[in-house]
């Protein structure tokens, strides 16, 4: 249809590239070429189209909006961005109105992508993991555009997505997600110990985090059991001491002294044995015994679920 307008009064536009791209801070040209026109002074406008709607970037022969001081118009209608930023990623529409032409209006839409190199990703690597336990390594980078994909390296050798494709990693039990940056081990082995780092990359470049060491250690089951036994023995000793102290009256609320204690009268037919407090000099006190003599009784009461 456009070819049919060339021989008559009609404005016809074309572009050299309707999907250009550039790296951040570089220049980029959005070409808008007029193939046919009769009007000597057409009206040229550029609009930036985003989710919020269209906005002018070139209107009444002036650059405005986001591109002010960062763009120029090359005759007749091409837009040159001299210092592209990530916010310039959008669709741009070139509109030409020619009042003296029979087909007085035409437009073209250009989809611009400004690529942003990734920054150094944030990596998380556990310092030490018990043998046979699971482990998860993470890598996150959110500045790059397009969205970054991830690679993991161990001792400076790339870890393949599938461990079965490499002899070095064939026995490893991991899963690697290149889109989220997670490296998960189901059960680590001694061979999994080493230096790990991650690389975030996209079409604009890549960035890496510093290497981090992951150690694999054995769980000392015997040591843990012995430690628990020592704690149990200590608690039993403390409990026995407290029980004996209660039995001997060390925690009595009112201490009985010689001034306020009265010896009860002896009943008929009852033998009375004096305690240590009642005994005078030269008297022999019976029934003292060692503190451990009371331990079985006290422990039986304090720990009813243990068999002594």
Question: d(Cα 90, Cα 145) in Å, to the nearest integer?
Answer: 13
Write the Ramachandran bin of 132: left for phi over 0, alpha for psi from -120 to 50, otherwise beta.
left
Do 108 and 26 share a structural domain?
yes
Question: d(Cα 150, Cα 114) in Å, to the nearest integer?
Answer: 20
| Domain with 179 in it | 122-217
Do 81 and 37 share a structural domain?
yes
In the numeric block, which tokens belong to residue 61? 């022969």
CATH of the domain at 145: 2.60.40.10
Residue 294 falls within a domain, yes or no? no
Read off the pTM: 0.63
Please give the chain's pLDDT, 308 residues, in tens: 444 444 558 999 999 999 999 999 999 999 999 999 998 899 999 999 999 999 999 999 999 998 999 999 998 999 999 999 999 999 999 999 999 999 999 999 999 999 999 999 999 999 999 999 999 999 999 999 999 999 999 999 999 999 988 888 988 899 999 999 999 999 999 999 999 999 999 999 999 999 999 999 987 566 677 778 888 888 888 887 788 877 777 665 544 444 544 555 555 554 545 555 544 544 444 444 454 455 454 445 444 444 43
Question: d(Cα 103, Cα 14) in Å, to the nearest integer?
Answer: 15
Do 189 and 135 share a structural domain?
yes
The position carrying tokens 């002074």 is 41
3-state DSSP assignment of residue 246: helix
Do 37 and 18 share a structural domain?
yes
The count of structural domains within the chain is 2
Do 107 and 27 share a structural domain?
yes
Buried b (16+ CB within 10 A) or exposed e, 184-221: ebeebeeebbeebbbbbbbebebbbbebeebebeeeee
pLDDT in tens, 96-127: 999 999 999 999 999 999 999 999 999 999 99
- Show which of 115, 150, 185 is a domain's final residue: 115
pLDDT in tens, 35-90: 999 988 999 999 999 999 999 999 999 999 989 999 999 989 999 999 999 999 99
Residue 241 falls within a domain, yes or no? no
């Amino acid at each position: 249809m456009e070819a049919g307008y060339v021989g008559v009064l009609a404005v016809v536009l074309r572009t050299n590239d309707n999907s250009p791209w550039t790296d951040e801070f570089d220049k980029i040209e959005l070409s808008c070429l007029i193939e046919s026109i009769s009007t000597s002074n057409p009206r040229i406008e550029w609009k930036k189209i985003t989710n919020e709607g269209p906005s002018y970037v070139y209107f009444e022969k002036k650059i405005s909006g986001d591109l002010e001081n960062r763009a120029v118009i090359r005759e007749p209608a091409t837009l040159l961005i001299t210092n592209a930023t990530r916010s310039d990623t959008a669709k741009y529409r070139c509109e030409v109105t020619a009042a003296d032409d029979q087909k007085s209006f035409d437009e073209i839409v250009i989809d611009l992508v400004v690529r942003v190199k990734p920054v150094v990703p944030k990596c998380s690597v556990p310092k030490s993991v018990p043998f046979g336990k699971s482990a998860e390594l993470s890598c996150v980078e959110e500045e790059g555009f397009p969205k970054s994909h991830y690679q993991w390296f161990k001792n400076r050798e790339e870890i393949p997505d599938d461990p079965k494709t490499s002899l070095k990693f064939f026995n490893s039990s991991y899963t690697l997600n290149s889109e989220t940056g997670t490296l998960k081990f189901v059960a680590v082995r001694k061979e999994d110990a080493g230096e790990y780092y991650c690389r975030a990359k996209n079409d604009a470049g890549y960035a890496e985090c510093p290497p981090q060491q992951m150690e694999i250690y054995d769980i000392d089951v015997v040591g843990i059991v012995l430690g628990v036994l020592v704690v149990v023995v200590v608690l039993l000793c403390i409990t026995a001491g407290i029980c004996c102290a209660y039995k001997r009256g060390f925690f009595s609320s009112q201490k009985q002294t010689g001034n306020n204690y009265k010896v009860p009268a002896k009943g008929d037919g009852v033998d009375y044995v004096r305690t240590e407090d009642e005994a005078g000099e030269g008297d022999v006190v019976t029934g003292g015994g060692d503190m451990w003599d009371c331990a079985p009784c006290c422990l039986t009461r304090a720990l009813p679920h243990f068999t002594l």
